[in-house]
Amino acid sequence: MSDQVETIRLQAPFAESEARALKSGQRILLSGVIYSLRDAGHKRLVELLKRGEEPPFPLDNAVLYYVGPSPAKAGRALGSAGPTTSSRMDPYTPCLIRNGLRGMIGKGYRSDEVVAAMKECGAVYFAAIGGAGALISRAIKEAEVIAWEDLGTEALRRLTVENMPVTVVIDTEGNNLYRDGPHIWLTRHHD
C-alpha cells in the first residue's frame, strides 16, 4: 500500500475479474446500479433463494448497500443514506455471495465465513463513511422500491449512483483494511 492512493472509477454491476483486480485500501468512485437492503430483506432474499425462486433483482454481479435511508428531501432521490453495521447481514451473506453477489457496501467488520465466501467467489466489501449519510445521498441519483415495501425504509430499492465514494476494505484475497491498516500506518509514521 503506497502513501498515494489512486481513486478508481468503477461501474456497477461489475464482473468477478474486476472484483479480483481491486485491492484493500483503494478509493473507489462507484457509479451505476446498486441495491439497498438490510437484515429483514436479507432474510427474505435468502429464504426465497432456498425455495428455488427468482430474486426480485439480478443477483449476478450485483452490489448491495446496507442502508435504511431517511425520506427524500426536495430535489433528492433519498434522504440521508449512511451505511449500517454490516455484521447484521453476515448470517445471510455467504449464501448471497455463492449466488452471484459481487460487492457489499457497509461499515464495520465481517465474519470469517463472509470473508471465506468472498475469497472463494470473488466478491469485495466496501466501506462507506459512517456519519456522512447526507453527503452519500448526493451520489444517489434515482431510487425506486422494487420489493418488500412493507419493510418501509428497509424495502429493497434499486439505486442509480454516480461517483459514490467508497473504500475497498476487504478484497478477494482476504486483505482487510480494518485489521491491517493500523499496523501499516504505525510502521509508516513511527520514527
Is residue 146 within 8 A of residue 56, CB to CB? The reply is yes
**Domain limits, the chain:** 7-189
pLDDT digits (tens, 9 = 90+) for 54-68: 999 999 999 999 998
% of the chain residues with pLDDT over 70: 90
What 3 state SS string does 112-139 have? Answer: HHHHHHHHHHCCEEEECCCCCHHHHHCC
pLDDT digits (tens, 9 = 90+) for 74-105: 778 877 788 888 999 999 999 999 999 999 99
| Long-range contacts formed by 148-151: CB under 8 A, 24+ apart | 148/40, 148/41, 148/44, 148/56, 151/40, 151/41
Calpha distance 157→43 (Å, rounded): 15
Q: What is the mean pLDDT of residues 22-43?
A: 95
Residue identified by cell 465481517 is: 110
Task: Place 159 in a pLDDT band, splitting at 50, 70 and 90.
Answer: very high
CA 173 to centroid of chain Cα atoms = 17
pLDDT the model gives residue 129: 79
Q: Which CATH number fits domain 7-189: 3.30.70.1520, 3.30.980.10, 3.20.130.10, 3.20.20.60?
A: 3.20.130.10
Least confident of 14-28, 85-99, 119-133: 119-133
**DSSP 3-state of 81:** coil
- For the beta carbon of residue 191, count every other beta carbon within 10 angstroms: 2
The DSSP string of 19-73 is: HHH--TT-EEEEEEEEEE--HHHHHHHHHHHHTTPPPSS--TT-EEE---PPPPP
Query: Could you tell me the pTM of the whole model?
Result: 0.90
Average pLDDT, rounded, for the chain = 89
The answer, yes or no, to whether residue 1 has pLDDT greater than 90, is no
pLDDT the model gives residue 69: 78
Q: What is the mean pLDDT of residues 168-173?
A: 96
CA distances (Å), origin 94, targets 11, 12, 105: 23, 20, 15
